[in-house]
Amino acid sequence: MDRWRRLIGHDGRLLADLRLSTPGEGGRGRAVQSGYHASWWLILGDEERCLGSGPIDLLDGRRSIKPGDSGRIAIHPMDPSAWRGIDTPSVLHLRERVGQTLGVAMVTARVDVPDEAPLRLDAVPLRPAEVRLVRRDELPAQVLHEVPRGTP
């Protein structure tokens, strides 16, 4: 399971039709897949508003969307309070950095996105490979018992 799914405090999503720009149009050269951690912007005239992070899932059995192609996606708003008022037929801009639109998505439905939702900050068990990346004095006591003393 993607780490963002453990953190997000709701099960809501926005359904949308996404078209990725080609490199010649200022887009990226690689396809996007489910789990892509996208940054979304709402642009109305001269006003630009960052909605924040919204990882995506590809729908209709697609494995990827290549530059220049279109596909249906589900956007999972990480902070739903920033997404208030975003509904059909809002047009969202997918960006990796300010001013570079990688794609445009038209919202087709808003499904169970709350006005607010706290992040789920439950303890997440660490796999052995992750434990080695954390200082021993920062680990909970129960994890220390599972890691042998000589572990690099």
What residue ranges define each of the domains in the chain, with the CATH number in brackets?
3-111 (2.40.30.10), 122-152 (no CATH)
Give me the pLDDT at residue 116, please: 84
Give me the pLDDT at residue 14, please: 94
Q: Please give the C-alpha separations between residue 10 and each of 23, 35, 83, in angstroms, as whole numbers.
A: 34, 16, 13
pLDDT tens per residue across all 152 residues of the chain? 455 666 777 888 999 999 999 999 989 899 999 989 889 999 888 888 888 889 999 999 999 999 999 999 999 998 888 888 898 999 999 998 777 889 999 999 999 988 887 766 656 566 665 555 555 555 555 544 454 555 55
Q: Distance (Å, rounded) from C-alpha 78 to C-alpha 51?
A: 9
Q: Distance (Å, rounded) from C-alpha 55 to C-alpha 72?
A: 14
Give me the pLDDT at residue 45, please: 82
Q: Distance (Å, rounded) from C-alpha 25 to C-alpha 67?
A: 10
Q: Please give the C-alpha separations between residue 18 and each of 51, 73, 108, 137, 145, in angstroms, as whole numbers.
A: 16, 7, 10, 45, 48
Angle at 3 between CA 18 and CA 26, to 5 degrees: 30
Question: What does pTM read for this prediction?
Answer: 0.74
The first and second tokens of residue 53, run together, are: 């992070």
Give me the pLDDT at residue 1, please: 41
Phi, psi of 4, rounded to the nearest 5 degrees:
-65, -30
Q: Please give the C-alpha separations between residue 2 and each of 7, 26, 59, in angstroms, as whole numbers.
A: 9, 28, 17
